Amino acid sequence: MESLIQPRILKGFRDFLPEAEITRSTLIEKLTDVFRSFGYVPIDTPVMEYSEILLRKSNGETEKQVFRFEDNGGRDVALRFDLTVPFARFTAEHKDELYFPFKRYHIAKVWRGEKPQAGRYREFIQCDFDCVGSDSASSDFEILSLMKAALQAIGVEDITIRMSHRGIFNQFLEKRNLTDKSEDILRTVDKLAKVGKEEVASQLESLTGSNTTAEEILEYITPADTFEQTLTHMEAMAGGESENTRRMREIYAMMEAAGIASSFVLDPSITRGLDYYTGIVYETFLNELPGIGSVCSGGRYDNLAGLYMKEKVPGVGSSIGLDRLIAGLQQLNKLESRKSFIDAEIFCLDKDMMTEYHRLAQTLRQRGVRCEVFPDPKKLLAQYTVAEKKGIPFGITLKKEDVAGNTVTIKNLATREVFENISLDKAIDILLRKN
C-alpha cells in the first residue's frame, strides 16, 4: 500500500483558516475603499519576474532574501520581494498607455527568504499605493494623508508616522565628502532601532574612518522637540536652506491645515534601507507596540523607473505590511473576530421543503440578509451546533404552515431569544438588527 504524504507547509509560510482570512479580507476591503476615495486605481503584475528586473537596483542584503532560481526554460527568475520594483517595470512598459500623474494601488503577496519571527513571514501581503508623474509637495502630502486615512479606516488610530528626507541627508554627507559612502551610511543609520546607538556609532566609525565624523552623523540624526526645531537643526548641519528643506516645510504646512500634524514626527534617523529612495521617507509605528517595527512605510523614488526607460518619471508611494499589522493588532486585542459573513442559517426540518427554504433564502438575500440553507435534514441540535461554530447570529425555521402565512420563526443563537411566527418583514428587521 502506498504510504501517505504528511501534510505540512514550509517554514515561514502559513495556511489561513476562515476566521483569520475573514479578518484579513475585511481589512483589505476597508483599505480598498479608502484608496479609491483618493482616486487610486488597481493594477496587478506577475508574481515572478526576470531576476535582472528585480535586482538591478538593490543591495546585497536584498539579494540574499530573494527566492531566485532557474526555470525550466533556463531563465534566471525570482519571486517579487516587494510591489514597488515591479511597478517601476510596469510604468516603463506601459508608459504610452498610462496617463500622468498616475495613481495606483496594488494589494498582493510578496516573498522574502528572511528569518521568520513574530510578525515577519516569508510570504506576506503588501498593500501599496503610489503616485507617479508628479514631483510636488502635494503628491508627497497626499501619500502621507492617505496613510493616515487608510490606517484610521481599519481602526488603527494610536500611531506615529516618523518621516525624514533622504535629499537633506545626502546634502549633509556631500558637505563632508562622504557621497561615495552614502548608501552604506544610510543603511547603517537605518539599523539604529534594531542594534542601538553604540553599534551604529561603531559601524559608522569603521565606514568613515573617523570618530568625529561618526559623532557628527549621530548628532545629525538626533531629533529635537518639534518639527521646526528638528528641520532647522538638519538644515544647519546640511549647509543651509535648500529646495529639500523648503519641500518639508510645505508638506508640514499642509499637514497642519488638514489637522493631522500631531501624528507625524520629523526624525532624521529614518532613512529606509532600499537604494531607490531619493526624497521624503517615512515609517509608521504603533504607539502601544513600537517593537514590532514599521507597519506602513515608503518614500519618494524619483529615479526608480529610470532603470527601465530613458524618460524620468518621478514617483512617491507607501506600503502597508498587512500581516505584520494584523500580528500587532492581535497582540493588542484590537481585532474584531468573526467566523463567517452569514447573518442567518435556514435550518432544514423537512427535506421535502428544500424548495421553500431556498425560495426564502432568495427573498432574504434580495432584502439584504446574508443567509444560507443547511443542506441536510439532520437533527436540529446538530444544525444549531454547526451554525454556532460558524458564528452565525440567527437561526430560521420554516414550517409548511409558515409558507401559507408568510411567517417564520427566528432564534438568536447567542441569547437563545426566540421570535415565533413573525411576519417576514418583522424578521428581516430583526436580522438586519434594525430593532
**DSSP state letters, 256-295:** HHHT-GGGEEE-TT---SSTT--SEEEEEEETT-GGG--S
Tell me, what DSSP letter sits at residue 5? Answer: P
Nearest to 281 by CA among 140, 118, 394, 382: 140
* Angstrom distance (rounded) from CA 270 to CA 301: 15
**Strands across the sheet with 344-346, in order?**
371-373, 344-346, 394-397, 407-412, 418-423
Identity at 86, one-letter amino acid code:
P
pLDDT of residue 295: 93
* Angstrom distance (rounded) from CA 357 to CA 376: 12
* Angstrom distance (rounded) from CA 387 to CA 105: 37
Give the helix/strand (H/E) hosting 409: strand 407-412
Cis peptide before 377 (omega within 30 of 0): no
pLDDT of residue 435: 44
Q: Which residues carry a binding-site annotation?
A: 82-84, 112, 126, 130, 272, 276-277
pLDDT of residue 60: 64
Tell me, what DSSP letter sits at residue 136? Answer: S
Q: Which three cell numbers stand for residue 2?
A: 502506498
Helices assigned H by DSSP within 103-242: 137-153, 166-175, 182-189, 192-195, 197-208, 211-220, 227-237
- Is residue 39 within 8 A of residue 9, CB to CB? The reply is no
Nearest to 48 by CA among 88, 91, 86: 86
Tell me, what DSSP letter sits at residue 3? Answer: P
Nearest to 138 by CA among 227, 257, 251: 251
pLDDT along the chain (435 residues), means of 10: 88 93 95 98 97 77 86 96 92 94 97 79 94 96 98 94 96 94 90 89 92 94 96 97 97 98 96 84 94 92 83 93 89 88 96 96 97 96 95 95 92 94 95 74
Q: Which residues carry a binding-site annotation for L-histidine?
A: 82-84, 112, 126, 130, 272, 276-277
pLDDT of residue 327: 87
Please tell me the number of Cα atoms within 13 Å of 141 on its side-chain side: 18
Nearest to 105 by CA among 37, 33, 27, 41: 41
Nearest to 335 by CA among 384, 379, 396, 286: 286
Helix (H, G, I), strand (E, B) or coil at 389: helix
* Angstrom distance (rounded) from CA 361 to CA 346: 8
